[in-house]
Amino acid sequence: MKFIDYLQTAINSLKANKIRAVLTMLGIIIGIASVVTIISLGSGVKNLIVGQIMSMGSNTIFVEPGSFNTEQKSSMMQSMTEGMTIKTLKYDDALAIEKHPDIDMTAPFVNGVARMVYKNTNKKITFMGATPNARKIDAAYPILGRGITESDVKSMARVVDLGYNVRKELFGDENPIGKTVRIKNINFKVVGVTEEQGSQMFMNLDDIVYVPLTTAQKLLLGQDYINWIVARATNENKIDNAVEDIRLILREKHNIYNPENDLGKDDFKIMSQKETANMLSTITDIFTVFLSAVASIALLVGGIGIMNIMLVSVSERTKEIGLRKAVGAKRKDILYQFLAEALLLTFLGGIIGIILGIIFSYIGGIVIEEMLGTKWIFIISFKAIALAFGVSTIIGVIFGIFPARKAADLNPIEALRYE
Amino acid sequence: MIKLKNVIKEYRNETVVTMAVDDVNFDIAEGEFVAIIGASGSGKSTLTHIMAFLDRPSSGVYQFRDNSINDLSDDQLARIRNKEMGFVFQSFALLPRTTIFENVKLPLIYTGLSQKKINKMTKQAIESTGLSHRSNYFTNQLSGGEQQRTAIARAIVNNPSVIFADEPTGNLDSKSGQQILEILQKLNDKGHTIILVTHEKYTSEMAKRIIEMKDGKIIRDEKITNRKYAKKGLIK
């Protein structure tokens, strides 16, 4: 019996039970579509994150409070909680780092969330306490008025520089310059509006307002420490040296005796842009793998469904199997016939699943673009498609072989007698 | 062509041993038309299954041409069935939702012949049973007689030396049954060996030799010489 005959028989058999075939395929379709969508969206998110981080300039360095736990270097939760409780990072540290010859500028930050009130309207905003360098590093320029100045920081001025959306929502077309808004019941004078910037790292920069660092520390947060420092090296090649030097500067300032250079002993951690990008892309990869594994459960269930239906099909067609054997079908002819049917089911399911997966990832991309306001790059990974094909074929073989063997091992006389 | 020597087929369960075929000996030569008759449970079907390589004897020797069933694997038996034997069943055993053409073709797809040759042989077989005009009909659109003629076309499509017909008229009205028997007669005239299994007396009267079974044993093995008489008996 030739391949084309197996295929023809399989097609005829599926055609005879169209609804059953479609329902059986559903499990595979859902599984494959989910895996393709997840992998596709996962690589899109990864590109987005890495792209955004790199677009901030590959010569930036982040200094955060907390320490590297050498065993779980990238535990985000840990760094987040430590960042809130460790209070050793100060404005002074930023100024000291800035003196290093390889460092172009530093920007210390504090941040918090509050409601901003203007007349009868209010909006939940993230406020950043910063110095003028913050906007310089972001390369974001005012479209109205001015940004935060050195003298604002020195005089602890109650002034605010609005993000693009904040202005739009609170003021509409009205000119906000010189108007008074309230944050945590404190009056601030609007001095500027910054140009539209879009999202970065799942945070819409246009929803943020900037106030002078000192004002935020004393009046809004009541803290004397800072939450992080962004430093910009003069040159990308100087980064590795600069990172080492910043370590020494901060250890000296924080009185940490650490000649063995044990990062676990420090109360701060330093990450270059590249390291951050690598870390986040690793996290995205882990998420993608994890979600795909969950989606694969649908594939497993789908495979069992196929086995189930194939077993039904074998017992329904016992007489046909007996006849085929009587007229000369060998064991392997029957085996391949039923295997071909299972494979055809998973193969068709795989193709439909891949097509749906592509459609879903496309829609998902549009939704993310809408939600984050960023440019989404639609990625269809051929690796994911090849994987989906491979997996559905393997499922066909694994779950098809048992019913097919059952069919092939039938005794022709008993099969013919079967009613 | 067919040689049975001390062939025994027994079925055992925990307590009882049933002798379905009990020490059967006979030969069938090429070109014979043999009717195996007997009441149901007489062992005729089991014996035929052994002769048709569908079942193996518990003991004894069965030879088909030079092939002894005991020396052959299941796949080798399938190969011989495919090349040398044709089957007609009481229940027609046609594939549902399939055309006459596809049904008749069935044995040939296991031969490895070219598609062209397969199609040619299939057409010939359908022609010889007078169904050419319905070649693309589905089997559920056919009358019982036409279905059995399709089954006969399938049985002869591989040009077998022997055709086993197990109660071929059992599910048919007498007119259709007679047509089927006439076709078998013609096939025998062309040189095919026919082994007809039946419990209906009139069906067997076309045969040139009658083997009668009872309780697994042969109680009569008789050559019918006066075929004219036999034919008359058929036409009531």
Chain A's closest residue to B112, CA to CA, is A1
Which of A30-34, A46-50, A112-116, B174-178 shows the lowest mean pLDDT across its residues? A46-50
Q: How far, in Å, CA of A6 to CA of A11, rounded?
A: 9
Chain B's closest residue to A13, CA to CA, is B97
In this prediction, residue A138 carries a pLDDT of 80
Q: How far, in Å, CA of B147 to CA of B154, rounded?
A: 11
User: Residue B112: its chain A contacts at CB < 8 A?
Assistant: 1
The answer to whether the Cβ–Cβ distance between A12 and B98 falls below 8 Å is yes
Q: Do B158 and B107 form a contact (C-beta atoms < 8 A)? A: yes
In angstroms, the separation between the Cα of residue B76 and the nearest Cα of chain A is: 8
Average pLDDT over residues A217-226: 92
User: Residue A324: its chain B contacts at CB < 8 A?
Assistant: 106, 110
The answer to whether the Cβ–Cβ distance between B109 and A2 falls below 8 Å is yes
The answer to whether the Cβ–Cβ distance between A333 and B110 falls below 8 Å is yes
The answer to whether the Cβ–Cβ distance between B78 and A330 falls below 8 Å is yes
Helix axes A382-408, A273-316, angle to 10 degrees: 20
B196 bridge partner residues: B35, B165
* pLDDT above 70 as % of chain B: 95
User: Residue A320: its chain B contacts at CB < 8 A?
Assistant: 95
Q: What is the b/e burial string over A279-297, where b = at least 16 CB atoms within 10 angstroms of the residue's CB?
A: ebbeebeeebeebbeebbe
Closest to B209 (Cα-Cα) out of B227, B222, B194? B222
Return the structure tokens found at A308.
């189930």
User: Residue A327: its chain B contacts at CB < 8 A?
Assistant: 81-82, 87, 106-107, 110, 154
Return the structure tokens found at B221.
């093995």
Average pLDDT over residues A288-296: 86
Average pLDDT over residues B149-171: 92
The answer to whether the Cβ–Cβ distance between B74 and A5 falls below 8 Å is no
User: What is the separation, in whole angstroms, between the first and last Cα of chain B?
Assistant: 34
User: What is the separation, in whole angstroms, between the first and last Cα of chain A?
Assistant: 27
pLDDT at B21 over 50: yes
Name residue B150's amino acid. T
pLDDT at A80 over 60: no
List, for residues B68-121, the tens digit of each pLDDT value.
988 899 999 999 999 999 999 888 889 888 899 999 999 999 998 898 999 999
Confidence at A72, pLDDT banded by 50, 70, 90: very low
Q: Nearest 5°: phi and psi at A192?
A: -165, 165
Chain A's closest residue to B98, CA to CA, is A12
User: Residue A337: its chain B contacts at CB < 8 A?
Assistant: none
Return the structure tokens found at B63.
């030879």
Task: List the single residue in B87, B89, B95 with the smallest CB-CB distance to A320.
Answer: B95
Chain A's closest residue to B156, CA to CA, is A327
pLDDT at A341 over 50: yes
pLDDT at A394 over 50: yes
Average pLDDT over residues A16-26: 90
List, for residues B9-18, the tens digit of each pLDDT value.
998 888 888 8
Q: Residue A322, Cα to own-chain centre: how many angstroms?
A: 55
CB atoms within 10 A of CB A111: 16
In this prediction, residue A71 carries a pLDDT of 46
Query: Is beta strand B162-166 parallel, antiparallel or unpaired with respect to B85-89?
Result: parallel
The answer to whether the Cβ–Cβ distance between A416 and B89 falls below 8 Å is yes
pLDDT at A335 over 90: yes
The answer to whether the Cβ–Cβ distance between A327 and B95 falls below 8 Å is no
Pairs across A and B, CB distance < 8 A? 57
In this prediction, residue A381 carries a pLDDT of 78
